[in-house]
Amino acid sequence: MNELAITAPPPAATPAEVMQGALIDSRQRWRELVHLAADFAFETDEWGRFTLISPDPALDWAANALIGQPSTTLLPDGGGVFDPFRVSAKVRHRQAWLKRGDGAIACLTISAAPIHDPNGRIIGARGVGFDTTELDSLAALTAGTLRRAEVMDNILWRVGQEFLPARMIDAALDVLANVTGAQGVAVVIVPTSVDEAQIAHVIGTGADAVLRIAAQSPGQGEPWSPGSGIPAMRTVDTRPVLIAPCQTRFGENARLVAWRLPEGRPWDTDDTHLITSCGPIIRMILEREAMHLEMAQQARTDSLTGLLNRRAFLEEMERHAARQGRDNEPATLMFVDLDNFKPVNDRLGHEAGDDVLRHTAVLLRKTFRPTDLVARLGGDEFAIWMNGADHMTAAERAEYLRDAVPSELADITGPDLPRVGVSIGIACRDAADAEPLDSLMRRADRAMYEVKRGGRGHWRVSLRKRP
């Protein structure tokens, strides 16, 4: 029999292209992540003037008060001190004395490197520093801050080797577990209640034992809250547990949780500093992960109706068809095309046309099961894949839509326009039949156009002719 091939118009952009754009855009976010992990971050130009200062304020200086100013502004009077702003080679963990905005002197542990142009000429410097002036004793301060700086350098290096947010978080958690001697470290998401808490990322074992207490709200008198960044120490079955709130800018209530073996060494101040320092990194990656998930969803979703788009529908249909063969069940493909849709756009405008499409999408979602696939292929064309349904079940749903769509859309189109209805083509794929999907789609499409030619507003089933 003669078959009519249908060619789909190419999409404007592929999911890979969308994700590539997200990765390019994330480079700036990566710079922000590095800055969040340090007490002081800077860049200078070839004349030693500041081009970047972070955070704002930094060392009690407003960032805009330093941008464009000579880096000597921060060096103590008298000279003879290490100048981290004009380095000719990489330096790590070098002690530097800098002036605060109020004139006091701060001691920082600096890691810095020169910036080179394509010809290898030094055109500036960049670096990060950790303030080491506020611990109770200079010896404890130096040791603790150097350890923290080394750990943070390791975390940032490990995270920087990864592109996927999930792997970035796993890398950070792995470093934390190793340096703190934890049995495990996890990121716990607490939507609204303890019962809804979920472990989003975990390294090590024992997470289930501490999940509930990690998700609990702060107790009376506790100094921490979801937005405070202050860790809490608790005990679960003699396990020392350390919990740091890590709420994202998107409102996601996350917690960074570390625990040791039962009767393990209690957490100390240095441990809390490490967990607290890692919090901004985890928070930034969680936000990046949320954006990636959102962009991946947008790449698979029709922006107007929220249904699957053509590309996602075809991909999911192949996956469901493979499962159909394993489960030995039938499946049915249904093409739905709106009748008299063009007059709505021409006479009422595209806003009314969009309302028609959105209401149709809502009706399709209510008509079919969550396990079925519902998509907008483009324009006023929709498609449904019904798992485990034969053509009789599909015909019952089609008959319902034939009556429901005109009634649902009557308030939008009004009495002066032809009623918007549906033409539906149905093709069933038997459990024992490995009919190619392109053949199944041609049958459903041909059945729909036979309905169009026959007067519209009805449905037709295409039966497969076997050799």
Token pair belonging to 388: 């485990």
391, 440 Cβ separation under 8 angstroms? no
Reply yes or no on whether the pLDDT at 5 is more than 70.
no
Specify whether 67 is located in the same domain as 189.
no
Q: Summarize pLDDT for 284-313 with one digit per residue, the tens.
A: 888 777 776 667 666 778 888 889 888 889
- Given 134, 154, 176, which residue is the final one in a domain? 134
Q: What is the pLDDT of residue 291?
A: 74
In a domain, 115, yes or no: yes
How confident is residue 34, by pLDDT bands cut at 50, 70 and 90?
low
Q: What pLDDT does 137 receive? A: 47
**What pLDDT was estimated at residue 139?**
54
**Between helices 391-413 and 350-367, what is the axis angle to 10°?**
150
Select from 92, 117, 134 the last residue of a domain: 134
Is residue 320 domain-shared with residue 292, that is, in the same domain?
A: no
- The lowest-confidence range among 17-31, 97-111, 195-209 is 17-31
Residues 280 and 314 in one domain: no
Query: Does some domain include residue 18?
Result: no
Q: pLDDT at residue 224 above 60?
A: no
Q: Who's near 23: CB < 8 A, 6+ residues apart?
A: 163
In a domain, 398, yes or no: yes
What predicted TM-score, i.e. pTM, was given to this entire model? 0.45
Residue 367, amino acid: T
pLDDT tens digits, residue range 77-104? 755 568 899 999 999 988 888 888 888 8
Q: Are residues 292 and 316 in the same domain?
A: no
**Any idea what the CATH number is for the domain that residue 55 is in?**
3.30.450.20
* 5 within domain boundaries: no
Confidence of residue 36 (pLDDT cuts 50, 70, 90): low
Instruction: Please return the burial class of 233, using the count of CB atoms within 10 Å of its CB with bins 0-12, 13-18 and 19+.
Output: middle
Of the three residues 273, 300, 327, the one that is the final residue of a domain is 300
Give the mean pLDDT of 139-153. 66
pLDDT score at 446: 92
Residues 295 and 314 placed together within one structural domain of the fold: no
Would 155 be classed as within a structural domain?
A: no
Q: How many domains, in total, are found in the chain? A: 3
Q: Report the 10 Å Cβ neighbour count for 139.
A: 9
As a whole number of angstroms, the distance between CA 182 and CA 256 comes to 13
Domain boundaries, position 314: 310-462
User: Is pLDDT above 90 for 326?
Assistant: no
pLDDT (average), residues 131-152: 64
440/332 same-domain check: yes
pLDDT tens, position by position, 151-196: 778 788 887 787 777 888 888 888 888 888 888 888 888 776 667 7
**Residues 334, 423: one domain?**
yes
The CATH number covering residue 177 comes to 3.30.450.40
Whether residue 272 contacts residue 256, with contact meaning beta carbons closer than 8 Å, is answered with no
Comparing CA positions, the residue from 426, 241, 397, 256 lying closest to residue 332 is 426
Whether residue 317 lies inside any domain: the answer is yes
Q: What is the mean pLDDT of the chain?
A: 81
Residue 443 domain-assigned (yes or no) = yes
Question: Which residue is it, tokens 């159909």?
Answer: 324
Measure the CA–CA gap between 376 and 89, rounded to whole angstroms: 58
What pLDDT is recorded for position 136? 37
Banded model confidence at residue 230, pLDDT cuts 50, 70, 90? low
* Predicted confidence band of residue 114 (pLDDT cuts 50, 70, 90): very high
Region 423-427: what's the mean pLDDT? Answer: 93
Q: At what angle do helices 437-453 and 310-327 cross, to 10 degrees?
A: 120
Q: Is residue 430 part of a domain?
A: yes
